[in-house]
Amino acid sequence: MTSDHPTAATLRRIAHLDMDAFYASVELLRYPQLKGLPVVIGGSRRREDDLLGRLREAYPEHAWSAENLSEIPLDFFPRISGYTGRGVITTATYAARQFGVGSAMGVMKAAKLCPDAILLPVDFDQYRHYSRRFKAIITEIAPVMENRGVDEVYIDFTEVPGGQREGGRVLARLMQKAIFEDTGLTCSVGVAPNKLLAKMASEFNKPNGISIVHEVDLEQLIWPLPCRKINGIGPKAEAKLATHGIHTIGELAQRDRTWLMEHFGKSYGAWLHDAAHGQDDRAVEISSEPVSISRETTFEHDLHAVRDREALGAIFTRLSAQVADDLQRKGYVGKTIGIKLRYDNFQSVTRDQTLDHYIDQATDIRHAAGQCLKRVDLTRRLRLLGVRVGSLMKREDWQAQGLRSQEAPASPYTESLFGDIDAPHG
C-alpha cells in the first residue's frame, strides 16, 4: 500500500526522521552518568547477568540490580584502550565522533583514535523495543510511514493536519516533542518535496534538529554538497565522478543527461541527472516486503576453512538456524539460497543458487548454502560468514497455491563440518 498522491492544492511534503545516535542514546537512558562522554557500542552482545555479577564482586556492599545501573561508578566501565579482537562499532556518541570514531569501524582502530572511550556491548532487544515505541508515536500522528530500519523512517506529511505549516516544521516539531516525552530520545527531521531531498535534509542539523527544503532551495542548500551526500552514490561512483572533475552535486547537475548516460550507463546515468536536480517520484511505502532475509557474523579472529572446520561448521549451522527462525517467525519461504564470505584482506564474495522449490527449514538451508561453498576459494582465512535466503514468498500464499515443500537430498553434513569440504577448493 502506498501513500496517495497530493492534490493540486497541496505541495508534496515528505519527511525523513532519523533517531540521533540511536543505539548509544538508548544506552544513555540506562547509564545517564555517561552523558557527554565518548562512548562506543559494539564488540559483543550484552549479557546483563555477567555485568551484575562483576558489579557485585567489585562492590559487594551494594545491592546491584537492573534498576540501579545509573549508580555504577565511571571507573567500572571498560575503555577501548588495549582492545584486541575483530569487534566492529555499531554506533558512537557525538563526543566519540569528534575523534573520528564512527559506525562500521573496527574497535581496535577506534582505540587508537580515542583510547579513553567507554565500550558498551550491544543490546538489540532493547533497541528494537524503543524502535517500536517511537514508530508507534509517529503513526498516531501521521499514518503514512515507511520503515527504513530500526532507527529511521520516511513519513508523508502532505495531507496530515499541520503538515504544510512552515513547510512541515510545525508537524516535525510535534513529532520530536512526542517522541522525547515518551522515550527520552531525540531525533532529527528533514522535510522536502521527496525522499531523496528529505534524507539529505535530515543530516543538516544533527542532533535534535529540523531542516526544511523547498524546490527553490536546491541551488543554495543542495548543490554545494559533495556528490556522496546523495543516497545512491557510493565510493566507486564518487571516485569515477571525480575523474571527470565532478565533486559537488552542483557540478553534477551541470552535466548533460546524455553525457552521464554514456559514461555511467543508461539507467544509472539518467538517475544521476535526476538526483542532481532534486527529482524523485518514489512514494512512501506503508508496508514493504523484504527482498531477502540473512544473518552474518564477523569473527573475533580470522578462521581457516580446514584448520578451523569444526568452529566454522558450528557457526554455519547456527546462522542457517537463525535464518530459518527469521523466515518462520515472519511467515516467509524462499528458494534462492546464498552465502557471503569476507577474507582477511577485507575482500567480500557472494554465491547463491535458486532451487526449484521453496524452503524454510534450517537443514535445507544449510544444505543448499553448503553447495555454494564449493564455488568459492577456501584457501584463504576468513573474517566473516553469512547465510541468506531470497526469492521470498508469503507462507500463506505458498500454501494457498497448493505448493508442497520438497525435501532436499539427504545432507551429508554434520554440525562439526564446514559443509562437506575436506580440502580447499578454488
Residues 386/295, Cβ–Cβ less than 8 Å: yes
Alpha-carbon distance 321 to 53, whole Å? 30
Catalytic choice (152, 203, 296, 310): 152
What contacts 200, CB < 8 A, 6 or more positions away?
A: 190, 192, 213, 222, 225, 229, 230, 231
Do strands 14-19 and 187-192 pair parallel, antiparallel, or not at all (unpaired)? antiparallel
Query: Which cell is 244 given?
Result: 571527470
Query: Which cell is 318 given?
Result: 547456527
How far from 109 is each of 21, 80, 143, 341, 384, CA to CA, in Å?
20, 10, 42, 22, 18
CA R_g for the chain: 24
> Could you confirm whether 262 is annotated as catalytic?
no
Q: List residues with catalytic annotation.
A: 152
